[in-house]
Amino acid sequence: MLDQAQYFRGSHGLDGWMATTLGTPAEWSFCQHVVRNQEPFVVEDARHDPLMKDSPLVRMEGVRCYAGVPLVTFRGHVIGSFCVQGPDARSFTKYDLAQLHRYAKEVITRIEQRRRG
């Protein structure tokens, strides 16, 4: 994530303008909290979350739930997040977060392999 924008390097299920632009302004982003704090960020109902309730993604786009984990390089740099978001409020289990961590590790492994190759 850059200072000005968040870019989606991969996505599934996006529609509307986010699917076309593949990004959002950084200040709207849920992922900024993952990157800044270098730890998972979970929001069960964004309408009631003090950090996210005023984001246009919540107010205008209807994002309600989010769970993201940091993408950490082998050198310890956080380069983004691996996340899911949805239009319905919901809880995330320990298993859900473990799966996100597993996928994040796989993404980093592939990035690192490409970087070396």
Instruction: Please list the alpha-helical segments (H only) found in 38-93.
Output: 56-59
Q: Domain of 70?
A: 29-116
Q: Kindly list the distances between the CA atom of residue 76 and the CA atoms of 23, 41, 67, 79, 80, in Å, as whole numbers in the listed order.
A: 25, 18, 21, 9, 12
Q: Is residue 37 situated within a structural domain?
A: yes
> Does residue 11 or residue 65 have the better pLDDT?
65
43 belongs to a structural domain: yes
* 46-102 confidence digits (pLDDT tens): 999 999 999 999 999 999 999 999 999 999 999 999 999 999 999 999 999 999 999
The helix/strand count (H/E) of the chain reads as 4, 5
CATH code of the domain in which 64 resides:
3.30.450.40
Distances (CA, A) of 92 to 25, 38, 97, 102: 26, 19, 7, 15
Q: What is the pLDDT of residue 102?
A: 98
Any domain includes 59: yes
* Residue 6 within a domain: no
Predicted structure pTM score? 0.90
What three-state secondary structure class fits 66? strand
Residues 10-21, mean pLDDT to the nearest whole number: 83
Confirm whether 16 is domain-assigned: no
Domain count, the chain: 1
Alpha helices (runs of H) in the chain, residue ranges in sequence order: 16-21, 31-37, 56-59, 94-116
From CA 89, how far away is CA 19, in angstroms rounded? Answer: 21
